[in-house]
């Protein structure tokens, strides 16, 4: 097939009308032929700008070069040097603002589909049974990792490869962090992708102990002093949901996006054979405009509801990934932009019956350069809904910082850690990921896990 160098090889997706009714993955990914064709579009730049756009600096031209030759196994080995979770990142990285935003091809035409190629390579490796190599022997030094999200898994994997005996402690009954409880099945399949990436980390010798809440079941000080761990990495994420504090917010039928998504993803409420219930709703308002809001909206749609996204700024300000907004629109999500909730209307049984909103218009740009919305006088009206999902962002859980002497946090409860090596104010304790930065991205959390693994090695060699 002749490849138009300015255009991407299109990726196959489920039809919008079909996928709006199921929880199967939306994007079907490239096959080998498509991947090899797309790989020919890469110019193999000497001074590859795309690498600068990737937070973990994957050697993108080298792995794409191998895809072009059809040597997928070698492409996988190259990616593996930099990333522990390529099948995840290939799917959920905001590529358009990272690696792909810097690609030379993007100047005249469409950038190379780096993310889709990465995903293809990782899926191919999994389907062909390729696993990372476990170390021959361990050095007997024990390191504890708190939280099994991308930060914890990456840090644990790197330390295990270097010979350390690593145990991950996870509060929930399943490993994976947001990858398991937050991001929905139709974007990130749990069994095929997430579970097998976790298996890879385990095959390096990492132990995962679920059902352990650090700060409650045991503490960091006990891990260091009584359980024989020489260092601790905290990758506990930013799981605490925010609410708006408007009237009616405690009514039946108002959920945080975390609750709605956890019931559906981690507890599999969409599957009748699982015991956890969910009130899907008939007409749902999702408040917010980020990735989490898109995920909640598209989940509610699949559970059978008419769904409105209520966001106080305009379309170009939506913080969600472009691809997610595009998919949501295709599926029939209604966007009520420049609209802000004032109150949730509650019926006499205590259930939501509507949401009172006000129209907004964009004013002058604020300090961050974003034009801040202001209310239009007299524009209040009520949208009839029976369910409201609050998706306003999250902050770190204070459970760990409040039970660990000498671990400093900033005013947002984020743990203070050195970006270069993850070191915190407490000797032997390192941290990274959303617990340090506040809600961010998978790849940044992985980068922080990697940096901390190096930091821990240096600390333990002293």
- Would you tell me which residues interact with other proteins (CB under 8 A)? 171-173, 181, 210-213, 216-218, 239-241, 243, 245, 249-253, 255-256, 258-259, 262-263, 267-268, 273-277, 279, 349-350, 397, 399
Decide whether 11 or 212 has the Cβ nearer to other proteins: 212
Cβ contact 373:361 at 8 Å: yes
**Residue of 3, 11, 45, 399 interacting with ligand SF4 (CB under 6 A):** 45
Partner that binds at residue 49, options ligand FAD, ligand SF4, other proteins, none, CB closer than 5 to 8 Å by kind: ligand SF4
Q: Measure the CA angle with vertex 28, ends 37 and 201; round to 5°.
A: 95
In angstroms, the CA 382 to CA 228 distance is 59
In angstroms, the CA 433 to CA 449 distance is 7
Decide whether 87 or 285 has the Cβ nearer to ligand SF4: 87
Partner that binds at residue 72, options other proteins, ligand SF4, ligand FAD, none, CB closer than 5 to 8 Å by kind: none
Among positions 21-80, residues that touch ligand FAD (CB under 6 A) are none
Decide whether 114 or 278 has the Cβ nearer to ligand SF4: 114
Of 163-171, 219-227, 246-254, 280-288, the segment contacting ligand FAD by CB under 6 A is 163-171
The burial class, CB within 10 Å (0-12 / 13-18 / 19+), for 207 is: middle
The strand pairing partners of 13, in sequence order, are 27
**Residue of 9, 48, 87, 168 interacting with ligand SF4 (CB under 6 A):** 48
Of 195-203, 222-230, 351-359, 396-404, the segment contacting ligand FAD by CB under 6 A is 396-404
Partner that binds at residue 58, options ligand FAD, ligand SF4, other proteins, none, CB closer than 5 to 8 Å by kind: ligand SF4
In angstroms, the CA 408 to CA 167 distance is 24
- What's the N-to-C CA distance of the chain in angstroms? 57
Residues in contact with 57: Cβ distance below 8 Å, sequence separation at least 6, in sequence order:
51, 82
Partner that binds at residue 214, options ligand SF4, other proteins, ligand FAD, none, CB closer than 5 to 8 Å by kind: ligand FAD
Decide whether 176 or 447 has the Cβ nearer to other proteins: 176
SS3 state of residue 74: helix
In the complex, least distance from residue 199 CB atom to ligand FAD, rounded to whole angstroms: 17
The burial class, CB within 10 Å (0-12 / 13-18 / 19+), for 216 is: exposed
In angstroms, the CA 199 to CA 153 distance is 11
Task: Give the 3-state DSSP-derived string for 19-41, with helices as H, strands as E and coil as C.
Answer: HCCCCCCCEEECCHHHHHHHHCC
- How many other β-carbons are positioned within 10 Å of the β-carbon of residue 428? 17
Cβ contact 103:55 at 8 Å: no
Q: Which residue has the tokens 């469409």?
A: 110
**Residue of 80, 98, 265, 394 interacting with ligand SF4 (CB under 6 A):** 98
In angstroms, the CA 227 to CA 270 distance is 40
In angstroms, the CA 33 to CA 44 distance is 19
Tokens describing residue 103 = 């690609």
| Interaction between residue 151 and ligand FAD (CB under 6 A) | yes
Using CA atoms in the order 31, 34, 38, 40, what is the torsion angle rounded to 10 degrees? 110
**Residue of 172, 269, 297, 357 interacting with ligand FAD (CB under 6 A):** 172
| Interaction between residue 114 and ligand SF4 (CB under 6 A) | yes
Residues in contact with 220: Cβ distance below 8 Å, sequence separation at least 6, in sequence order:
146, 214, 232, 234, 400, 403, 404, 407, 426, 429
In the complex, least distance from residue 208 CB atom to other proteins, rounded to whole angstroms: 13
Cβ contact 159:143 at 8 Å: yes
**Residue of 27, 35, 36, 50 interacting with ligand SF4 (CB under 6 A):** 50
For the chain, what's the residue count? 462
Decide whether 299 or 397 has the Cβ nearer to other proteins: 397
| Interaction between residue 11 and ligand SF4 (CB under 6 A) | no
Count of residues touching ligand SF4 (by CB under 6 A): 28
Partner that binds at residue 245, options ligand SF4, other proteins, ligand FAD, none, CB closer than 5 to 8 Å by kind: other proteins
Of 103-111, 137-145, 257-265, 308-316, the segment contacting ligand SF4 by CB under 6 A is 103-111
Decide whether 220 or 383 has the Cβ nearer to ligand FAD: 220
Decide whether 17 or 217 has the Cβ nearer to ligand FAD: 217
Decide whether 57 or 250 has the Cβ nearer to other proteins: 250
In angstroms, the CA 72 to CA 39 distance is 12
In angstroms, the CA 303 to CA 271 distance is 10
Contacts to ligand FAD by CB under 6 A: 92-94, 146-152, 169-172, 177-178, 182-183, 213-215, 235-237, 239, 261, 277, 291-292, 295, 321, 397, 399-400, 433-435, 439-443, 445
| Site residues (vs ligand SF4, CB under 6 A) | 42-45, 48-50, 54, 56, 58, 60-61, 64, 83, 89-90, 93, 95, 98-99, 103-105, 112, 114-115, 118, 443
């Amino acid at each position: 097939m002749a490849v138009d160098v300015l255009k991407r090889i299109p990726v196959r997706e489920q039809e919008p009308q079909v996928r709006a009714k199921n929880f199967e993955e939306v994007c079907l990914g490239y096959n080998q032929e498509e991947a090899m064709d797309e790989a020919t579009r890469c110019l193999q730049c000497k001074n590859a700008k795309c690498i600068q756009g990737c937070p973990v600096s994957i050697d993108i031209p080298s792995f794409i070069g191998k895809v072009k030759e059809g040597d997928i196994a070698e492409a996988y080995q190259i990616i593996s040097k930099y990333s522990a979770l390529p099948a995840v990142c290939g799917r959920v990285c905001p590529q358009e603002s990272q690696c792909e935003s810097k690609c030379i091809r993007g100047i005249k035409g469409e950038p190379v589909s780096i993310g889709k190629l990465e995903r293809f390579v990782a899926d191919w490796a999994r389907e062909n049974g390729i696993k990372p190599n476990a170390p021959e022997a361990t050095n007997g030094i024990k390191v504890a990792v708190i939280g099994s999200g991308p930060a914890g898994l990456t840090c644990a994997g790197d330390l295990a490869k270097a010979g350390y005996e690593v145990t991950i402690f996870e509060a929930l009954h399943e490993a994976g962090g947001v990858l398991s409880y937050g991001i929905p099945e139709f974007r990130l399949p749990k069994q095929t992708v997430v579970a097998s990436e976790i298996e890879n980390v385990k095959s390096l010798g990492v132990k995962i102990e679920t059902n352990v809440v650090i700060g409650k079941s045991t503490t960091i000080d006990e891990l260091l002093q009584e359980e024989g761990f020489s260092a601790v990495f905290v990758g506990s994420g930013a799981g605490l949901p925010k609410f708006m504090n408007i009237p009616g917010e405690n009514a039946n039928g108002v959920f945080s996006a975390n609750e709605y998504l956890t019931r559906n993803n981690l507890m599999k409420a969409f599957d009748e054979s699982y015991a956890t219930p969910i009130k899907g709703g008939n007409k749902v308002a999702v408040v917010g405009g980020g990735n989490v809001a898109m995920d909640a909206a598209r989940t509610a749609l699949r559970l059978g509801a008419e769904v409105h996204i209520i966001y106080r700024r305009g379309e170009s300000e939506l913080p969600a990934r472009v691809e997610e907004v595009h998919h949501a629109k295709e599926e029939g999500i209604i966007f009520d932009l420049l609209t802000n909730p004032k109150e949730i209307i509650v019926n006499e049984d205590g259930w939501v019956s509507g949401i009172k909103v006000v129209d907004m218009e964009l004013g002058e740009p604020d300090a961050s350069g974003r034009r801040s919305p202001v209310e239009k006088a007299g524009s209040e009206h009520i949208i009839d809904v029976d369910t409201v999902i609050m998706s306003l962002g999250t902050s770190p859980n204070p459970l760990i910082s409040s039970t660990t002497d000498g671990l400093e946090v900033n005013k947002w409860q984020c743990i203070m850690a050195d970006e270069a090596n993850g070191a915190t104010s407490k000797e032997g304790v390192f941290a990274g990921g959303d617990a340090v930065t506040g809600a961010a991205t998978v790849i940044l959390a992985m980068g922080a896990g990697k940096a901390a693994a190096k930091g821990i090695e240096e600390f333990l060699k002293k």
